[in-house]
Amino acid sequence: MTLLHLVRKSAFETSDFQQCIDTLAFGDQVVLLDDGCYNMRHTLMNKLTEVMVIKVHADARAIAIQAGTLAISMAELIDLTFKHNSVITWQ
C-alpha cells in the first residue's frame, strides 16, 4: 500500500506540509503543486529525500527548483496517480 501525497499549501502558512511528512510511509511519493511550491524554500524540505514539483506551478511563482527535487508536468502527475494505491491531497 503506497500513497501519492499532493501538497497544495505553503508550509509558511499552514501545518499541512508538516502533517504530510508525519504521515509518510515507505514507498510513498510527494508532489508539490500550487502554493505547495513555496515549500521548496522551507527547512522542512531537509526531512525529505525525494520530492517532485509541478514545473509550471514553480515557474509561475519564480521559485527555483532546487537540487534533489524533480520537476514534472501535469501529464506525469496523472501517470503517478496510477502507480499508487491511493492519493491524498494536503490542502
Q: Taking a C-beta distance cutoff of 8 angstroms, is the pair 18, 45 a contact? A: no
Task: Please provide the distance, in angstroms rounded to a whole number, between the alpha carbons at the two ends of the chain.
Answer: 22
Q: Is 83 in the site for other proteins (CB under 8 A)?
A: no
Quick one: 60 or 87, whose CB is closer to other proteins? 60
Q: Is 51 in the site for other proteins (CB under 8 A)?
A: no
Q: Is 62 in the site for other proteins (CB under 8 A)?
A: yes
- Residue count, binding to other proteins (CB under 8 A): 14
Q: How far apart, in Å, are the Cα atoms of 83 and each of 38, 59, 77, 86, 89?
A: 25, 26, 10, 9, 16
Q: Taking a C-beta distance cutoff of 8 angstroms, is the pair 28, 5 a contact? A: yes
CB of 55 to other proteins, least distance (A): 9
Fill in the amino acid letter for 91: Q
Q: Is 56 in the site for other proteins (CB under 8 A)?
A: yes
- Residues that bind other proteins in the complex, under the rule CB under 8 A: 8, 10, 12-13, 34-35, 38, 41, 56-57, 59-62
